């Protein structure tokens, strides 16, 4: 019989991780299970940083950004002897199921634990929305809102000075943050893996805007694709638009989670416990599709590529 369930947060932190932690712990306690947390992600697991918690631990955390049990990265987890050591620590603590909240890297780590005989459940918590097995990750909604808040402010000053603003956002492998923000802001341009830079098209558009005396232009750019300062210089030279760059950086990770992220966290957290308690079901990754919470076998989920919202690119092009 399942008695002890542990939970950790891993990879880049995301708003809503605390709300999810709360849901996992409370749903476990509600079902009469002993609940444990692992501090500092997979690194803390290897170090045996495991502690039993009660309901008080989850008081007043639903609206807090970050993760109260902290997160860490441990590249060595890919080494078989390290994941084996982590699995043995869980066995020593007699933990029956481990719930991990994180991104696809975390899920690969969990899969290695599963191969060492541990039942694991992954919940997607990452601002990038780059997890293949789900349409939405916990943290994406909050990060998107944070970007929009920043862009709204930049628009004010961009307009006053008739500038073009290049705004770099997170999401190196997935342009969802850039594309959704571009749609939400009615941006003049977006550059990301799914919508690469076509210099001539962009310059033509900006030249036309300049000629029509349009007050400003906003262009969203995903991180790590190109040097935005170089692009800004090129835009100035080719179009005459005074161009400034802004890197939003880790600001996008912080803040109180949106209601949407909190509700998603609650639904996914509760599902993790129903899977944990079902002894006929093995290791799974949780997701959301067409509004429904789903779960998939972990070995299948880690192979999946993130699918982009159908028609998003066309919509952006049409409305720019
Ligand atoms: P985010 O994308 O939001 O940062 P993530 O979970 O993808 O979240 P990573 O840093 O890629 O973040 O992974 C978190 C941890 O998972 C790593 O520090 C490492 O311990 C483990 N991990 C990552 N990739 C693998 C892998 N291929 N095999 C085993 N463990 C992995």
Model pLDDT for residues 196-243, shown as the tens digit of each residue:
999 999 999 999 998 888 878 999 999 999 999 999 999 999 999 999
pLDDT tens figures, 134-180: 999 999 999 999 999 999 999 999 889 889 999 999 998 899 999 99
What is the Å distance from ligand 1's center to 201 Cα?
37
Q: Where in the chain is the domain with CATH 3.40.50.450?
A: 4-139+257-301
pLDDT tens figures, 258-290: 999 999 999 999 999 999 999 999 999 999 999
What is the Å distance from ligand 1's center to 103 Cα?
7
CATH tag, 140-254: 3.40.50.460
Residue 172's pLDDT is 87
Q: Which residues line ligand 1 (CB under 6 A)?
A: 10-12, 42, 73-75, 77-78, 102-106, 108-109, 112, 126, 128
Pure H helices in 101-168: 104-115, 140-160
Q: Where in the chain is the domain with CATH 3.40.50.460?
A: 140-254
Distance CA 60, CA 22 (A): 9
Please determine, looking at this structure, whether the domain spanning 4-139+257-301 carries the CATH number 3.40.50.450.
Answer: yes
Cα-only R_g, the chain = 22
Tell me the pTM. 0.97
Residue minimizing CA distance to atom 20 of ligand 1: 74
Confidence of residue 307 (pLDDT cuts 50, 70, 90): confident
**For range 41-49, the mean pLDDT:** 98
- Torsion angle defined by CA atoms of residues 257, 263, 267 and 269, in that order, rounded to the nearest 10 degrees: 30
Q: Which of 45-49, 109-113, 273-277, 313-317 has the lowest mean pLDDT?
A: 313-317
How high does pLDDT run on average in the chain?
96
What is the Å distance from ligand 1's center to 154 Cα?
33
Q: Which of 44, 77, 99 to mutate to test the pocket of ligand 1 (most atoms within 8 A of CB)?
A: 77
What are the backbone dihedrals phi and psi of residue 147, each rounded to the nearest 5 degrees, phi first?
-60, -45
Indicate the length of the chain as a whole number: 320
Residue minimizing CA distance to atom 25 of ligand 1: 105
Nearest atom in ligand 1 to the alpha carbon of residue 107 is 6
Confidence of residue 310 (pLDDT cuts 50, 70, 90): low
Q: Which of 12, 43, 105, 114 to mutate to test the pocket of ligand 1 (most atoms within 8 A of CB)?
A: 105
Nearest atom in ligand 1 to the alpha carbon of residue 14 is 3
Name residues whose C-beta falls within 8 Å of residue 192's C-beta, 6 or more positions apart in sequence.
171, 175, 178, 179, 220, 221, 222, 225
Distance CA 204, CA 143 (A): 31
Nearest atom in ligand 1 to the alpha carbon of residue 126 is 3
Known active-site residue 56: no
Higher confidence at residue 315 or residue 128?
A: 128
What is the separation, in whole angstroms, between the first and last Cα of the chain? 57
Distances (CA, A) of 59 to 18, 21, 25, 63, 107: 10, 11, 11, 10, 27
**For range 53-82, the mean pLDDT:** 98
Distance CA 247, CA 144 (A): 15
* CA proximity to 7, closest of 298, 285, 302, 272: 272
Distance CA 27, CA 41 (A): 21
- Structural contact between residues 98 and 8, judged by C-beta atoms closer than 8 angstroms: yes
Nearest atom in ligand 1 to the alpha carbon of residue 11 is 12
Q: Which of 65-69, 203-207, 214-218, 252-256 has the lowest mean pLDDT?
A: 214-218
Residue minimizing CA distance to atom 16 of ligand 1: 106
Of the residues 40, 128, 261, 295, which is catalytic? 128
């Amino acid at each position: 019989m399942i008695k002890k369930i542990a939970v950790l947060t891993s990879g880049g932190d995301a708003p809503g991780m605390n709300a999810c932690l709360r849901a996992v712990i409370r749903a476990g306690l509600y079902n009469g299970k002993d609940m444990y947390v692992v501090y500092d992600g997979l690194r803390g697991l290897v170090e045996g940083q495991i502690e039993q918690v009660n309901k008080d631990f989850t008081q007043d955390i639903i609206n807090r950004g970050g993760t109260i049990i902290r997160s860490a990265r441990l590249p060595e987890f890919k080494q078989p002897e390290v994941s084996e050591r982590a699995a043995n620590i869980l066995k020593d603590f007699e933990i029956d199921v481990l719930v991990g909240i994180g991104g696809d890297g975390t899920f690969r780590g969990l899969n290695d634990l599963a191969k060492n005989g541990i039942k694991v459940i992954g919940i997607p918590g990452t601002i990038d929305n780059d997890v293949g097995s789900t349409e939405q990750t916990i943290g994406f909604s909050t990060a998107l809102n944070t970007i929009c808040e920043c862009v709204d402010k930049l628009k004010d000053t961009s307009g006053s000075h008739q500038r073009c603003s290049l705004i770099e956002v997170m999401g190196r492998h997935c342009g969802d943050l850039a594309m959704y923000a571009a749609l939400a802001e009615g941006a003049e341009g977006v550059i990301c893996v799914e919508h690469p830079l076509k210099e001539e098209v962009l310059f033509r558009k900006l030249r036309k805007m300049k000629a029509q005396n349009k007050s400003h232009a906003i262009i969203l750019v995903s991180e790590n694709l190109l040097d935005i300062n170089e692009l800004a210089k090129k835009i100035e030279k080719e179009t005459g638009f005074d161009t400034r760059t802004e890197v939003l950086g880790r600001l996008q990770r912080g803040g109180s989670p949106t209601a949407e992220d909190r509700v998603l966290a609650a639904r996914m957290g509760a599902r993790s416990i129903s899977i944990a308690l079902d002894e006929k079901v093995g290791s799974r990754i949780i997701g959301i599709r067409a509004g429904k919470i789903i779960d998939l076998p972990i070995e299948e989920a880690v192979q999946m590529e993130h699918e982009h919202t159908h028609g998003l690119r066309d919509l952006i092009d049409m409305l720019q």
